[in-house]
Amino acid sequence: MGLTSNKVLALAVALAVVLFVATVWFWPRLARGGWKSVLGRVGLLLATQLALFASVGLAANNSFLFYGSWADLFGQEQDMGVVVDHSAGSKDVKVVSTQAMDVPGGGRPAVGGQIQKIVIAGEKSKIDSSAYVYLPPEYFQDRYAKATFPASVVLTGYPGTAENLLKGLKYPKTAYQQAKDGKMRPMILVMLRPTVAPPRDTECVDVPGGPQTETFFAEDLPKAISETYRVGTKARNWGFMGNSTGGYCALKIALHHPDRFAAGAGFSAYYKAAEDVTTGDLFHGDEAARNRADLLWSLEHRPQGDSSFLVTTSRRGEGNLKGTREFIRKVKAPARVSSITLDSGGHNFNTWNREIPPGLVWMSGRLSAS
């Protein structure tokens, strides 16, 4: 049974209840002196607390999808068997599987759209990463057979899984509904996590002698997708969005590569590359590279391109309010900036689900299909 299985959660809750009842039932018998009674009391208390913490942890994980599997939880990597669909159209993208959308008529791509799981092979970065691609219903309709579509890269936070974007944050379903309601144009979404060199958090940086993550996202990914799907290759055809670490990456890639991405949206983003035990040494003493990864420094000291940015924060509950206000202040023409400021909202899925629908509409308004 998987980590996010409801059966696992039910078993953990049942075990916690049984152990609690057992503790109440056997406590009088264990009240006597002697080391066996003491060990019995300690054992029951410890087992009950562990079962309770496991239940709470599993419930929180099922709600927020921090980890998608046991292997992801314990940091284990597993080789993936890839079924190659040679009709995909590009040597850099392999289609692994497809899944229907959870919408009315979702079994038919021309009605509900489709989600494809793919593997992207980075030509320049030499990074391979799995991703999900959402194709809107129009992509499969005859009247749009020769049409191109705008696309946006969508990233999770660290150490999230790409499944978070499908289940917890509901990007495909939200994009489908917003387009159906006429609030945005149909758009392709390329969804993955920023951790393309697991388990390391590279902060979307080209690490000297290490993973070339910025190159993967800024060059390899849009090239591979444009060669596989009907997406243009100009900056106006591409956007970048994400939450937390993914939001930082989205803003950074759009800021430093206005020739490839017309817009970047950061939900609860921070504005300076993290440097800790999860990242390792990202810059190897290169202060210029460290400064470049500081978005507020870059806005102040580097030329700003013709880019659009969306940043989000909350007056209560978020830690990025001051940085977000400073980011807005530092953006200068020809760049443009928009913002969403909630009265309250923490660094969590509930907050992002309030920001993603207007964020997708905003993104659609900044991109062009041709």
Domain shared by 143 and 206, yes or no: yes
Domain shared by 143 and 196, yes or no: yes
Domain shared by 157 and 285, yes or no: yes
Sequence-distant (≥ 6) Cβ neighbours of residue 361 within 8 angstroms: 178, 183, 184
- For residue 2, give the 3-state DSSP assignment: coil
In what helix (H) or strand (E) does residue 240 lie, and over which residues does it extend? strand 238-243
The answer to whether residue 69 is domain-embedded is no
Domain shared by 42 and 170, yes or no: no
Backbone angles phi, psi at 311, to 5 degrees: -125, 150
The answer, yes or no, to whether the previous bond of 199 is cis (omega within 30 of 0) is: yes
Cα 337–290–278 angle (5° rounding)? Answer: 100
Domain count, the chain: 2
Domain shared by 115 and 58, yes or no: no
Domain shared by 321 and 345, yes or no: yes
The answer to whether residue 298 is domain-embedded is yes
Specify the pLDDT at position 82. Answer: 40
The one-letter code for the residue type at 311 is V
Helices 6-26, 35-64: axis angle to 10 degrees equals: 150
Specify the pLDDT at position 199. Answer: 87
Return contacts of 296-299, CB within 8 angstroms, 24+ apart. 296/271, 296/272, 296/323, 296/326, 296/327, 296/330, 297/272, 298/255, 298/256, 299/255, 299/327, 299/330, 299/331, 299/332
User: Are 148 and 369 contacting, i.e. CB atoms less than 8 angstroms apart?
Assistant: yes
Specify the pLDDT at position 288. Answer: 95
Specify the pLDDT at position 81. Answer: 40
Specify the pLDDT at position 160. Answer: 86
Q: Which of 64, 86, 112 is the last residue of a domain?
A: 64
Specify the pLDDT at position 275. Answer: 93
Helices 349-366, 171-180: axis angle to 10 degrees equals: 50
Cα 160–164–169 angle (5° rounding)? Answer: 125
Domain shared by 91 and 48, yes or no: no
Domain shared by 227 and 313, yes or no: yes
The answer to whether residue 1 is domain-embedded is no
Note down the domain range covering 22: 6-64
The 8-class DSSP code of residue 82 comes to -
Specify the pLDDT at position 72. Answer: 54
Decide the pairing of beta strands 263-267 and 238-243: parallel
CATH number of the domain that 303 lies in? Answer: 3.40.50.1820
The answer to whether residue 71 is domain-embedded is no
Q: CA-to-CA distance for 178 and 358, rounded, in angstroms?
A: 9
The answer to whether residue 215 is domain-embedded is yes
The answer to whether residue 242 is domain-embedded is yes
CA-nearest of 273, 65, 252, 274 to 156 is 65
Q: Note the pTM of the prediction, 2 decimals.
A: 0.78
The 8-class DSSP code of residue 123 comes to T
The answer to whether residue 70 is domain-embedded is no
Domain shared by 354 and 223, yes or no: yes
Domain shared by 361 and 231, yes or no: yes
What is the mean pLDDT of each successive set of 10 residues along the chain, which is 370 residues long? 70 83 76 72 80 80 57 50 42 88 93 96 94 97 95 94 92 96 96 92 95 96 96 96 97 97 96 93 95 96 94 92 95 94 90 94 94
User: Are 211 and 125 contacting, i.e. CB atoms less than 8 angstroms apart?
Assistant: yes
Specify the pLDDT at position 70. Answer: 58
The answer to whether residue 326 is domain-embedded is yes
User: Are 232 and 370 contacting, i.e. CB atoms less than 8 angstroms apart?
Assistant: yes
Domain shared by 145 and 217, yes or no: yes
Domain shared by 124 and 243, yes or no: yes
Backbone angles phi, psi at 312, to 5 degrees: -130, 150
